[in-house]
A and B are shown apart, each in its own frame.
Chain A
Amino acid sequence: MATTTHDAHDDHDDHGLAHTASVRVLLATGGSLLFLTLVTVLATKVDFGANLNLAVAMLIAVIKATLVVLFFMHLKYDKIFHTVVFTSAILAAALFVGFTLMDSSQYQQTNIWNPDAPPAAPYGPRPIVGG
């Protein structure tokens, strides 16, 4: 009963209960992820400016996450509804972040860190130590 690997049309193998990932796709995805990890570490050596650094890092992270979700988690070959479920969770989280940030931005200063004038370094006194 053991079936051999269907290399020829693995990407569209729907004969079983679900799509079977091909070795090629798995290795390619794994390899890309490791490569992108290297890229993201090396990118820290280059300074694009405080905000762009974050943007670049997050962009790479999102690409990695997309690879994991599409290929390792089979979402590319799965029912659309599963994508809907996952995306709605991300949207709910984004909503949470967005509204809370909108609120707190109104009453807290946003410091854009200026490397030429680093803020003073007060080191607070020891807080009251209770029990």
Chain B
Amino acid sequence: MTVEQPHAAHGEEYGHGHGSPFIQHHYDDAKHQFDSGKLGIWIFLAQEVLFFSALFVAYILYRHHHPEIYSYAHKYLDVKMGAINTAVLIFSSLTAAWAVRCAQLNQKRGLILCLSLTIACACTFLVVKYFEYSHKVHEHILFGRYFDPCVSSGGNHLLTRNNECPGSKTTVEWDKEKAVATAGCFADIAIDQDPRMEGVQASCSVAEITGAWEEKVSADGKKTKTFVEKSRKAITTQCPEEHFGHEASGETGHAKASYPCWEVTAQPAVCRPGWFYSWTCSGPVCLEESGSGGPFASQSACQEARSADAAKLKTQGTIAMSECLPGGASGVLVNYNDHYERGESIRIEADCKAPPAATETGDSFAEREQQLQLGKKAIAPAHKLTTHEAHELEAAGPPPEHTNMFFTIYFAMTGLHGVHVLFGVFVFIWLLIRATKGHFTSDYFGPVDFAALYWHIVDLIWIFLFPLLYLIH
């Protein structure tokens, strides 16, 4: 091995076998520098292993003590995307190792190609990860206190705490003791399969009844108001998004309601007594007289008043909706089977029927739902469930307590890993720039080798994360 003179000229030519100008002064020669760097990077990788170890400890601890959370929650993860990411990372590991080989053999073009492929794969990984994360953000499948899924792990709709799910705008106040909603408004009907709510019915129909209030004087002089129906229409449409929020004045010149307009939406769906029937109406009555402000100055004042009215609700009562209209709220406290007045021209009637007994249909899922709904905590299925059916059943229901912890660990581990991938991208871009300038030769390829080692550790960690997070069953 020729020894490089410590103060040799930093010539314009690189890597022509006379020793690289990148050998530093305090090293004997290229091999000394390379060996030192190699030991250094291996020690760094040891500390990277320890850096991730705490997260693995948390994972193992939680999985050991709460396997039901893992078996439920992992279904939220898309195995296909995870597998693609795994394959991409493995391929990028191959190209990184090949890049080292090219650098060692002075194959500049091969080196540039391999480095570029590695960067491309890393970026692919990050893009796939972006899609995964954004989907979860969209569905509120997040960590810690923000875990508020709009769908169950089986893909079914869920009415959850905030119901801040796509297509719904809701503010609901909850009785924390009983875990029931006590007041609030819903924007649209969610198909709620929360089995804790008793008396779940299988189908409802909502009708919009147009009519008018007429006053009648009875024989003994009492005045009563009765609603006279003029027409009836079944409601199935859904309130389009643009009806929510501010809108420009319409042809009448009046400003429309600042918070959602009324539009009746209903779906033959599960609805329950004492619960909120989420719907909105739209129509001329939504319009607010410009500057008039209405009976309520703001939506929250309206909602407050409405909550106060909640006490007045009985199973067969009514509530005046007109009080809520101007600037009004998105929904109204409803007891199904009630008739409500809305202004003086529209009335919503909801009528729900009991579902057929699930055993008649042979649908074990519905049967379980019904049993839970009827307050039976113990599940006695009509037939012995296969493991697969049991999993599916479990997946369809609401999440077990503290399912948010799975996602805390998921986001912590994949997030930290993703940050390391990002750093790797920057490092490899720097290497690529240096490679195009011809810095790396058979005498000096340390940076390529060491960065590739870092990259392999990143791949290695993902090799463990993939089955641990995505492939639980």
Contact = CB atoms under 8 A, between A and B. Distances in A.
Verify whether A and B have any Cβ pair under 8 Å: yes
B275 to A, nearest CB: 15
Nearest to A92: B50
A53 B456 contact: no
B106 A100 contact: no
A1 B39 contact: no
B435 to A, nearest CB: 15
Given A97-B60, A100-B57, A57 B471 contact: yes
Contacts of B30: 17
Nearest to B97: A72
Contacts, number: 212
Contact of B94 (A40, A72, A118): A72
B174 A126 contact: yes
B14 to A, nearest CB: 11
B101 interface: yes
Interface stretch (B341-349, B384-392, B412-420): B384-392
A34 B441 CA distance: 31
Interface string B152-175: 000000001110000000000010
Interface residues of A, number: 74
A89 B400 CA distance: 35
A94 to B, nearest CB: 9
B194 interface: yes
Central interface residue in A85, A86, A111, A118, by most chain B CB within 10 Å: A118
B473 A53 contact: yes
A26 B377 CA distance: 56
Contacts of A1: 15-17, 106, 441-442
Interface in B35-84: 35, 38-39, 42-43, 45-47, 49-50, 53-54, 56-57, 60-61, 64-68, 71, 79, 83
Interface of B: 15-17, 30-31, 34-35, 38-39, 42-43, 45-47, 49-50, 53-54, 56-57, 60-61, 64-68, 71, 79, 83, 86-87, 90-91, 93-94, 96-98, 100-101, 104-107, 145, 160-162, 174, 176-177, 179, 194-196, 377, 379, 384-385, 387, 390-391, 393-394, 397-402, 441-443, 445, 449, 452-453, 456, 459-460, 463-464, 466-468, 471-473
